[in-house]
A and B are shown apart, each in its own frame.
Chain A
Amino acid sequence: MGLVSGSLTFFRLYFKENINFSAGEVAEILKEYSFERLYDDEKLVNYGFVPFNFPAVSSFDVAEVNFEGMDIFAVRMDEKKINKKYFDIEFENMKRKFQEENNKNFLTKMDKEFIKNALNTKLLKGTLPSTSLIEVILDQKQKCIYSSILSAKVMDILENLFRIAFDIAIYRENIVENVRKKTMDAKLVDSLMTLSPYNF
């Protein structure tokens, strides 16, 4: 699925800022905010840029990014999920053990936080993530981004990544914005905003 073959379903997002990064600059930015560099083993969700044909090509040092004026790459998102019931059971076990080892009759709020963090770290290290690869096209001239997946979670991730990496605020397209961009006709947009529902 995606740009190479299969369904060509991509969602469009806009941004208002003027950007004009060269191919080399884009590659450097993608490298700086790559999945590999942003990865933190103790996070539930990890994300960052990878080359569009990842994992066949894994580094931006060798990846092709500029395709006839369009910047094409991918965002990798790894999400670890810990079963809540299992966590609760292990939490109780650890609390009991902690009390025994430290000869404590009760646990303070700080003790519980410490145990919770230790358990989180232990469980996250042993949990395999669920991975998604989101293909992305950045069209600097048209001030838009095309994304192959667009759930609420993916939108949050793209918003954050593009803000920190390219200093742009992306948002979902809507009919008013589409008409404004396409026609550059403010009067038409004003007329659109005054309409009321019509029965066919």
Chain B
Amino acid sequence: MKLYTDKKDISFIESEFLTYLLGKYYLGENIVDTENFSFYFEASKHIVLFDAGSEEKISVESENFNNCKEIYASLKDGKKVYELTLKVKKDNISYEITFRTDPLRIVRVTAPKSIGEEIYDKVVERSLYLKEIYEIYDELIANFVKSRTTDDWYIFIRKFREFISNI
């Protein structure tokens, strides 16, 4: 008799999420509205792609992912994104956020320096940046899950596959 129910492992969703973000960027669908603000993101600087089957992993450092043949070839091979840096722009504020899987989390953040002079002002300003960064993170995840669990997903996949095959 089974005395407990195993929790379903959905960790595969983490690399799907990061691959989705890269796909959204390539498709130009990279403007996002939250309850409080709008932002857009660019995939750049650092990416790690991995094929769980062959255990082949590639790591790319580049300022511009648009001309990066290595990334396109990896996506065609079926690799998924395991680590990704996004440049996020909101009004005149820019953040650099690096996401990593296993488990999914933010592992690196670059945010603007504080313009405040007093320590109290600096801390308040930077902690507000931090809250904003996690709001962005939550919005991206929620949008992904909403898409992944509806027919929107198949529309996205079709467009993404077309994009990859046309390169």
* A residues in contact (CB < 8 Å) with B: 3-5, 7-12, 52-53, 64, 67-68, 70, 72, 137, 139, 146, 172-176, 178-179, 181-183, 188, 191-193, 195, 197-200
* B residues in contact (CB < 8 Å) with A: 8, 10, 12-14, 16-17, 19, 23, 75, 78, 80, 103-111, 113-114, 119-120, 122-124, 126-127, 129-131, 133-134, 137-139, 141-142, 145-146, 148-149, 153, 157, 160-161
- Which of A9, A139, A195 has a CB less than 8 Å from the CB of B148? A195
Contact B149 A195 (CB under 8 A): yes
Contact A197 B8 (CB under 8 A): no
Contact B123 A3 (CB under 8 A): yes
Please give me the 7 A-B residue pairs with the lowest Cβ-Cβ distance, nearest first.
A191-B149, A8-B111, A197-B12, A182-B138, A8-B109, A182-B142, A9-B109
Once bound together, how far apart are the Cα atoms of A187 and B50, in whole Å? 31
Contact B10 A176 (CB under 8 A): yes
Contact A179 B134 (CB under 8 A): no
Q: Can you list 21 pairs linking A and B with CB atoms under 8 Å apart?
A: A3-B127, A4-B122, A4-B123, A10-B106, A10-B109, A11-B105, A12-B134, A53-B119, A67-B120, A67-B127, A68-B127, A72-B127, A146-B130, A192-B145, A192-B148, A195-B149, A198-B157, A199-B78, A200-B16, A200-B160, A200-B161
Contact B145 A188 (CB under 8 A): yes
Chain A residues, Cβ within 8 Å of B120: 64, 67
Once bound together, how far apart are the Cα atoms of A199 and B78, in whole Å? 7
Q: Residue of B at shortest CB range from A187?
A: B149
- Which of B16, B103, B114, B127 has a CB less than 8 Å from the CB of A137? B127
Report the minimal beta-carbon distance from B134 to chain A, rounded to whole angstroms. 6
Report the minimal beta-carbon distance from B130 to chain A, rounded to whole angstroms. 6
Once bound together, how far apart are the Cα atoms of A64 and B119, in whole Å? 10
Contact B13 A181 (CB under 8 A): no
Q: A8-B130, A188-B149, A200-B78 are in contact. Are A173 and B105 (CB under 8 A)?
A: yes
